[in-house]
């Protein structure tokens, strides 16, 4: 019997997107990160990073705080409880899928 592929349909698409998966993975281990750090780490363009972050924020998966380092803007991002939970669930589902094939 083939793997339970039905469970794949339930994957959280918001996290599944590779760019956002990368972001979520990073944020799950750093407590908080700024915009440029995330850009360097993921290799995304500023535009794409900005819009992916906006989506994650809209979903309540990250909280974005716009502040200043001295006088230059600093955008800080951290995973929310909901974001951490969703990421954990995503990983668990995917891991299960990978195991049984």
Partner DNA sequence: CAAACTGGTTTGTATTTCAAACCAAAAAGG
Partner DNA sequence: CCTTTTTGGTTTGAAATACAAACCAGTTTG
Residue 5 in the binding site for a copy of itself (CB under 8 A): yes
- Which range in 25-33, 48-56, 82-90, 92-100 contacts DNA by CB under 7 A? 48-56
Regarding 7 and contact with DNA (CB under 7 A), the answer is no
Place of tokens 């990978």: 98
- Half-sphere exposure (CA, 13 Å, Cβ side) for 81? 0
Q: Which residues, in sequence order, are CB contacts of 2 under 8 Å at separation 6+?
A: 101
* CA gap 36, 30 in Å, rounded: 14
Task: For the chain, report the end-to-end CA distance as a whole number of angstroms.
Answer: 10
What is the footprint of a copy of itself within residues 27-86 (CB under 8 A)? 28-30, 41-43
Chain residues that interact with a copy of itself, rule: CB under 8 A: 2-3, 5-6, 8-9, 11, 13, 16, 18-19, 21-23, 25-26, 28-30, 41-43, 91, 94-95, 97-98, 101
- Residues near DNA, by CB under 7 A: 13, 17-19, 34-36, 45-55, 66, 70-75
């Amino acid at each position: 019997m083939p793997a339970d592929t039905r469970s794949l349909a339930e994957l959280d698409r918001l996290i599944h997107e590779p760019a956002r998966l990368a972001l979520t993975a990073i944020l799950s281990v750093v407590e908080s990160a700024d915009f440029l750090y995330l850009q360097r780490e993921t290799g995304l363009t500023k535009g794409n990073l900005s819009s992916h972050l906006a989506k994650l924020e809209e979903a309540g998966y990250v909280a974005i705080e716009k502040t200043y380092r001295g006088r230059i803007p600093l955008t800080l991002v951290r995973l929310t409880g909901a974001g951490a939970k969703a990421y954990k669930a995503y990983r668990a589902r995917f891991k299960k899928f990978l195991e049984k094939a």
